[in-house]
């Protein structure tokens, strides 16, 4: 395995979703960084930071700064969402709670039902949208770096596919005819806003070390 400077770097990924850790690890290894990554479930005493900023970059920085300050380790955080052309970029940073606060599986279903309702009268040529992801890296010495990824596409009228989460069942990326819920996870990562942003951040980190 190739590593930056041959040493292992310890990182905290500011998420309670432990499933993101192996994905991040693989992207870092590809960039030549051998990292030992922990998620927040290993630090139960770190308080949840409310995502109060109006931008993805702002929220990602909020989370990464809080975790770096608390642990003294390099911290990575992401924020993402769907920006719909017809809704002037919304739900944007409100994507996770667009239909209000439901929790659990009902949350994604309610968010998507509401979005489809809102776009009922919107014709095909105005159904453009993009997924956006911002990733922030905050080093203990205060150095910060932000990377963004965008995946453009269009919204269809009915759900298709079982993979993914959130708005995936109605999002068809540019250049494809399937929704991102009809793609294998690896295939989606290659073109996704999150994949693009994380790979850019991994390259930045490789440079810093
Ligand atoms: P964390 O903040 O704890 O990481 P989260 O995924 O709920 O979890 P976000 O604030 O990043 O938090 O919200 C992203 C929302 O945007 C998510 O709930 C989805 O509704 C939507 N979203 C983001 N990326 C998506 C993707 O790849 N596919 C489908 N929906 C996505």
The interaxial angle of helices 193-208 and 20-30, nearest 10 deg, is: 50
Give the tens place of pLDDT for each residue, 71-103.
Answer: 999 999 999 999 999 999 999 999 999 999 877
What's the pLDDT score for residue 165? 92
List, as one string, the DSSP characters of 35-96. EEEEEGGG-TTSPPPP---SSHHHHHHHHHHHHHHHHSS-EEEEEEEEEEGGGTT-BGGGGG
Q: Is 102 in the pocket of ligand 1 (CB under 6 A)?
A: no
Q: How confident is the model at residue 5 (pLDDT cuts 50, 70, 90)?
A: low
Mind listing the pLDDT tens digit for each residue in 157-192? Answer: 999 999 999 999 999 999 999 999 999 998 999 999
Active site residues: 79
Write down the mean pLDDT value for the chain. 92
Distance (angstroms) between ligand 1 centre and the Cα of 8 equals 29
Q: What confidence score (pLDDT) does residue 6 get?
A: 64
| Distance from the alpha carbon of residue 104 to the mean position of ligand 1, in angstroms | 13
Q: Is 81 in the pocket of ligand 1 (CB under 6 A)?
A: yes
Ligand 1 pocket, 173 CB below 6 A?
A: no
Percent above pLDDT 70 for the chain: 97
Q: Is 48 in the pocket of ligand 1 (CB under 6 A)?
A: no
Three-state secondary-structure class, residue 123:
coil
Instruction: Give the span between the Cα atoms of 209 and 207, in whole angstroms.
Output: 6
Judge whether residue 111 has pLDDT over 60. Answer: yes
């Amino acid at each position: 395995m190739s590593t930056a400077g041959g040493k292992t770097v310890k990182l905290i990924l500011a998420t309670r979703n432990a499933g993101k850790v192996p994905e991040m690890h693989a992207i870092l290894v590809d960039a030549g960084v051998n990292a030992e990554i922990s998620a927040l479930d290993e630090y139960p005493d770190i308080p949840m930071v409310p995502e109060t900023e109006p931008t993805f970059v702002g929220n990602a920085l909020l989370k990464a700064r809080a975790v770096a300050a608390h642990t003294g380790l390099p911290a990575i955080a992401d924020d993402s969402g769907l920006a719909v052309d017809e809704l002037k970029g919304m739900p944007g940073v409100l994507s996770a709670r667009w239909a209000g606060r439901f929790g659990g599986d009902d949350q994604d279903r309610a968010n998507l039902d509401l979005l489809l309702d809102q776009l009922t009268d919107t014709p095909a040529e105005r159904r453009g949208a993009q997924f956006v992801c911002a990733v922030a890296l905050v080093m203990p010495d205060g150095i910060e770096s932000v990377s963004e990824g965008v995946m453009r596409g269009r919204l269809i009228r009915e759900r298709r596919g079982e993979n993914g989460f959130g708005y995936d069942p109605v999002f068809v990326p540019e250049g494809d005819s399937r929704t991102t819920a009809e793609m294998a996870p690896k295939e989606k990562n290659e073109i996704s806003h999150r994949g693009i942003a994380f790979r850019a951040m991994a390259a930045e980190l490789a440079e810093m070390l």
